[in-house]
Amino acid sequence: MEKQLHLKTIRWGIIGLGNIANKFAKDLSGVEGAELYAVASRSQNKADEFAQKYNATKAYDSYESLASDSNVDAVYIATPHVLHKENTLLCLNHGKAVLCEKPFAMDAQEVNDMIALAKDKKLLLMEALWTRFLPHYQYALNLIKNKTYGNVLKLEASFGFYREFNDASRLFKKELGGGSLLDIGIYPIFAALSSLGMPNEIDANSTFFENGADSSCDITFFYDNDVKAYLKSSLLEELATEAIFTCEKGIIKINRQFHAPSTVSIIINGNEEDVVEFGYNTNGYNFEINHFNQLIKQGKIESDLMSFDFSNKLIKLLDDVRGVIKLNY
């Protein structure tokens, strides 16, 4: 890490060049003190096209080649869920700081292995759950933590959209971690964990595609004082995709799409009193990129906002829900 403490420009590499990597690369181009230096795909043509589109210096046809490039300071991993551990360990073993897409890995054991190596190598590792760094979410979370409208009595959070089943698509392939829970159910679960903490009890039920991937998931988290979080994910239907915190003195509503750049409504006595705008003009990935860059420059190996402890709890909740609905990969 020592060489990184004095860097004026963080040179990024991206592994896995799908849809989310395109959004990330677009926002990275506008971040001061950062540049997209290298990209890697299993297809040289895809790597070349991506590099040309986003002005990357290097385009590789293997992840190993990018990881071993001494000019790369940080790597963003945007491969399918099932590859996150393998790709993270590869990059850490080559001395790179790693920002790995959510879910951090397939289960708690894989996450523990990743964190253990990062600590051993004294390298920065963080789960790229971008929602945590978005201004509107930080605003809502501060209202909750400060009990501006009293204690939270109930949380309702959902994320759902309809996609025609396609067994060839990563989204539906069970062996790649496809299905609603890991892909989008993680966001309502994240909303509950970040606002209410770990539940005392979990109830859940799911529907499944013919290939065994979950098509929808209804989850209830139970907390002290009869507080409940009602969480839902679905690939079968459009859901509100809002996060509604009913508090003692009002309602804090993160509007559609709550996990992405959005607005916050404050509702008191049943009347919508105020809608807070945040003036977003990017996809929203620049906020986590800026945070990560600062951690590198400060020589940190762990984020205070997306800590190892938080990521451990998040994957444990995903594992616990999978246990209840009997979903195994």
For 76, 96, 159, the CA distances from 241, given in Å and listed in that order, are 26, 35, 4
Non-local CB neighbours of 125 within 8 Å, separated by 6+ positions = 88, 92, 97, 98, 100, 114, 115, 118, 301, 302, 308
pLDDT of residue 2: 42
Q: Which residues of the chain have pLDDT under 50?
A: 1-4
pLDDT of residue 270: 84
- Give me the domains of the chain, ranges plus CATH numbers: 2-130+284-304 (3.40.50.720), 135-277 (3.30.360.10)
- Please provide the size of the chain in residues: 329
Q: Return d(Cα 250, Cα 147) in angstroms, integer.
A: 11
pLDDT of residue 3: 45
pLDDT of residue 5: 54
pLDDT of residue 1: 40
DSSP for residue 250: E
What pTM did the predictor assign?
0.96
pLDDT of residue 6: 56
Q: Return d(Cα 223, Cα 207) in angstroms, integer.
A: 25
Cα-flanking dihedrals φ and ψ of residue 287, to 5°? -70, -45
Non-local CB neighbours of 66 within 8 Å, separated by 6+ positions = 13, 15, 38, 39, 40, 58, 60, 72, 75
